[in-house]
Amino acid sequence: DQSVCAPLPVLGSDVTVPLVTGGEVTYAALDYAASAPALQRVWDDVAAYAPYYGSVHRGAGYLSQLSTDLFENARRTVAEFLGCRADDQVIFTRSTTDSLNLLARALPADCQVFVFETEHHASLLPWQDAHVTYLNAPRSPQQAVTTLERALADRDPHGPALVCVTGASNVTGELWPVRELAAAAHAHGARIVLDAAQLAPHHPVHIRDLDVDWVAFSGHKLYAPFGSGVLAGRADWLRGAEPYLAGGGASRKVTRRQDGGVDVEWHESAARHEAGSPNVIGAYSIASACKALTGAGWDALVAREQHLIAKVREGLAGVPEVRVLSLFGDDAPRVGVISFVVEGWNSSHFAAALSAEYGIGVRDGLFCAHPLVRTLLGSDPQTQGECGAPEAAPGEKSLNAIRVSFGAGTPDEHVERFVSAVR
Ligand code: PMP
């Protein structure tokens, strides 16, 4: 398709890897859902700033002030990128996992949490200390909404409640009906947090349009380097909670008491949950990625990704032994994350062969979403290992799957090589 734009330049696009069959080939990174390669533009921004970085919020020196400005500007850039409300907070964390654990620690007393069993473990597991209701896997976006509505209707309407939902599945790539789920949550007096780890790299995520209360995402999936993430949204629960970490930066005033103890006044701003020296390069690189994606234009990025998705899906459809995993069916809107099994093949061996024989990096396993993958495979948890690569005997059902995922930096050649390798 002539109208599809070129991929964005990313790091590692000319890395070559050896093949077992001899020779070498450029590496085809098709595991964006785990970690996307950093955009060249982000790396250039970081390299330009690196000689000047200094400690944030601490020093009187010029470089400390510069870094503090860049850190606080990064917060504003992220707030703009996410379409935050005026009084929302943007907290820099280590990752989506960190962001959701932070929110879990900020729940008001007696909060009920509702989460689909289909979630990534990062959004499935942090709520164990609250009263959690795990909702069964829906088989359509509409069923997701009715399942949630039914569960919320049964709850005590006076207490606080939180719904946690992913925007795009890290297994099937399917989009969840976030706006409708948010409307259902709010209609029943509950709040909602969006796990946008897989959505944000592929679609604009707008807090006000979606009408969600919080959004969490990770820098390393959004074409920035590792080590930084974001939790953005309503300030009240965050302000009312104990700091996520106790330490410097989160505390405004610490005084010694007559009885020998100490009194602490904590900040009410985002700093309350950012104790310790902040990861200024991490925050700066996320802001740079936000600007780069906005600058490239979402329409162009989405069009390019849909073009790659069509190539992969059509290619896989032509291989009778391949079964693509899907919760919502073939027509569901999706991002460039596709999991499948190949009849007669152990998924781990298959993924290893893609790497060793074709220089293609995909992922195999249960993708930190064990209940979902088991539902999709129709397999019995009792017979499985914990994670990784359990063996299926010939003729038995697969116990794990293969995942191919791609995005803004993926050239056509990578997905073409993948399809022809699977064939
Ligand atoms: N949620 C989803 C949907 C994910 O795909 C992932 C990462 N695979 C996470 C949360 C956790 O992200 P991180 O590992 O960066 O904390």
What is the SS3 string spanning 147-180?
A: HHHHHHHCCCCCCCEEEEEECECCCCCEECCHHH
Residues of the domain holding 302: 16-30+297-422
What pLDDT does residue 132 have?
A: 97
Whether the pLDDT of residue 396 is over 90: the answer is: no
What pLDDT does residue 57 have?
A: 83
Same domain? For 291 and 397 the reply is no
Same domain? For 267 and 240 the reply is yes
Tell me the pairing of strands 251-256 and 262-266: antiparallel
Same domain? For 379 and 286 the reply is no
pTM of whole model > 0.90? yes
Tell which of 264, 295, 326 closes a domain. Answer: 295
Partners of 135 in the beta sheet? 116
Whether the pLDDT of residue 380 is over 60: the answer is: no
Q: How many domains does the chain have?
A: 2
Whether the pLDDT of residue 386 is over 70: the answer is: no
Tell which of 234, 265, 295 closes a domain. Answer: 295
Residue 316 lies in a domain: yes
342: Cβ contacts below 8 Å, ≥ 6 apart: 319, 321, 322, 323, 350, 398, 402, 422
Q: Which of the 8 DSSP states describes residue 392? A: -
Q: What are the φ and ψ backbone dihedral angles of 340, each rounded to 5 degrees?
A: -155, 165
Looking up residue 370, the CATH number of its domain turns out to be: 3.90.1150.10
pLDDT (mean) for 309-325: 97
Same domain? For 131 and 269 the reply is yes
Q: Which atom of ligand 1 is nearest to the CA of 220?
A: 15
- List all residues whose CB is within 6 A of at least one atom of ligand 1: 33, 95-97, 120, 122-123, 166, 170, 195, 197-198, 218, 368
Same domain? For 400 and 287 the reply is no
Residue 8 lies in a domain: no
Q: Which atom of ligand 1 is nearest to the CA of 97?
A: 16
Average pLDDT along the chain: 94
Q: Which atom of ligand 1 is nearest to the CA of 367?
A: 8
CA of 96 to the centre of ligand 1 (A): 6
What pLDDT does residue 59 have?
A: 84
- Distance of alpha carbon 182 from alpha carbon 160, whole angstroms: 15
pLDDT (mean) for 186-208: 98
CA of 217 to the centre of ligand 1 (A): 8
Give the closest residue (by CA) to ligand 1 atom 8. 34
Active-site positions read 368
The larger pLDDT score, comparing residue 200 to residue 389, is at: 200
Same domain? For 62 and 156 the reply is yes
Same domain? For 89 and 162 the reply is yes
CA of 367 to the centre of ligand 1 (A): 10
CA of 101 to the centre of ligand 1 (A): 12
Q: How many CB atoms lie within 10 A of CB 201?
A: 28
Residue 256 lies in a domain: yes
ipTM exceeding 0.95?
Answer: yes
Q: Choose the weakest-confidence range: 59-63, 132-136, 255-259, 332-336.
A: 59-63
CA of 100 to the centre of ligand 1 (A): 10
Q: What are the φ and ψ backbone dihedral angles of 322, each rounded to 5 degrees?
A: -90, 135
What pLDDT does residue 395 have?
A: 56
Is residue 390 within 8 A of residue 347, CB to CB? The reply is no
Same domain? For 105 and 126 the reply is yes
Give the closest residue (by CA) to ligand 1 atom 6. 197
Pocket-testing residue among 92, 96, 172, 205, ligand 1, by greatest number of atoms within 8 A of Cβ: 96
What pLDDT does residue 268 have?
A: 97
Q: What are the φ and ψ backbone dihedral angles of 376, each rounded to 5 degrees?
A: -70, -35
pLDDT (mean) for 290-295: 98
Residue 366 lies in a domain: yes
Give the closest residue (by CA) to ligand 1 atom 5. 170
User: Residue 389 — pLDDT band, cuts 50, 70, 90?
Assistant: very low
User: Residue 382 — pLDDT band, cuts 50, 70, 90?
Assistant: very low
